[in-house]
Amino acid sequence: MNRLICAVCLVWTGTLAAQEELRGSLESSYNAWRESIIRKDSGAWQRTTAPHRRMEVKNRIVSEKRAFPNAVFELPAPPPSIKELKFLEAKQNGPTAKASYFGKIDFGVGGSPTENLIVLSFVKGGAGWLYDRADFVNLAALPEVRKELSAGDLKYLKETPEAQPSGVVPPTPLEARAAKYIAKVYVFCPGREVQVQVNKISRHRFANAKEAEVVIGGAADGPNEVQFSTRKLEGGTGKEAMTIRVYLMSETAGVKPIKAFEYLVQENAPVKPFGTDSFVVDAATVAKLNGR
């Protein structure tokens, strides 16, 4: 019996030591990435950021016709510090890992921060862990979860897939061309998941959302292809109204966005499960974008 107890103690001690080692590595990675943002050090940012995230950031910036890498550091406030937050757990699944923290997360926007949750994601690189992204969870509508996390109960993390490392490193996207015309895809899809692809380059997923995202690579002269698919989500009725649009964004002050494409579904109307269509950027469209 004593041998069994000793064996269990050794396993438990080893598990705690492994988690502390993982925690230290992940926190060092995040702090180095955060420091690169604060110092506006593009070289350090490249070294501390996951490859797929670096390319996604670059593609978005050039698709908005902003300067890379300077625009990486054009943030309203620095990333939050985790120094004063309560560490909850660090988990690894193959080449991916996540670290979760609870507390008054300060985004530097003023006011008095409330206690919320932040989950940091990482992927394994040749020289160690690289920062991927942060997921902030506002617990204002989840007071019971806030109480649980404050007391050290991690049930919410275990039940939330987004808080667990997937084990799969996202592929690095192809490098996008600098946009000639800035475009955004807008989707309103209560009760549905909608996936949109523009020019076979810019891929977007919306779920029960009312959101807009930048079209990677922007719009081009001539025809531009739009593909979409839709499916009902659990809890949806399949009768909700839905909208998919692509807007062209003017760089001329005072000129409103131009609606270049629209697929509109009224309430109770049938919805296409998928479709392929296009919009054209011609001389007349360019003249409108330039305010002429």
Q: CB pairs under 8 A, 24+ apart, for 206-214?
A: 207/233, 208/233, 208/236, 211/186, 211/187, 212/184, 212/185, 212/186, 212/187, 212/247, 213/184, 213/185, 214/60, 214/63, 214/64, 214/182, 214/183, 214/184
Mean of pLDDT values over 104-118 = 87
End-to-end CA distance of the chain: 87
Q: How confident is the model at residue 112 (pLDDT cuts 50, 70, 90)?
A: confident
Mean per-residue pLDDT, 172-190? 96
**pLDDT above 50: residue 227:** yes
Residue-level pLDDT at 231? 96
Task: Report pLDDT for 278.
Answer: 98
pLDDT value at residue 12: 46
Average pLDDT over residues 187-198: 97
Spatial separation of the C-alpha atoms in residues 132 and 23, rounded to whole Å: 15
Query: Is the pLDDT confidence value at 250 over 50?
Result: yes
Q: Is 185 helix (H, G, I), strand (E, B) or coil?
A: strand
Name the pLDDT band for 11 (thresholds 50, 70, 90).
very low
Q: Are 221 and 199 in contact (CB under 8 A)?
A: no
Confidence grade of residue 2 (pLDDT, cut at 50, 70, 90): low
Q: Is residue 6 very low, low, confident or very high in pLDDT (cuts 50, 70, 90)?
A: low
1 — pLDDT class (breaks 50, 70, 90): low
Residues 6+ apart with CB under 8 A from 62: 68, 176, 177, 178, 179
**What is the per-residue pLDDT for 109?**
73
Q: Hey, what domains does the chain have and what are their CATH numbers?
A: 2-163 (3.10.450), 182-289 (no CATH)
Nearest 10 degrees: Cα torsion 168, 172, 174, 180: 110
Residue 249 has pLDDT above 90, yes or no: yes
Q: Is the pLDDT of residue 5 over 70?
A: no
- DSSP secondary-structure letter at 78? P
**Bridge-based pairing state of the strands 222-232 and 192-198:** antiparallel
Q: What is the mean pLDDT of the chain?
A: 93
| Confidence at residue 184, expressed as pLDDT on a 0 to 100 scale | 98
Residue with tokens 């949109």: 196
**121-141 pLDDT, tens per residue?**
999 988 899 999 999 999 999
pTM: 0.86
Lowest-confidence segment of 104-113, 144-153, 237-246 by average pLDDT: 104-113
164-184: average pLDDT: 96
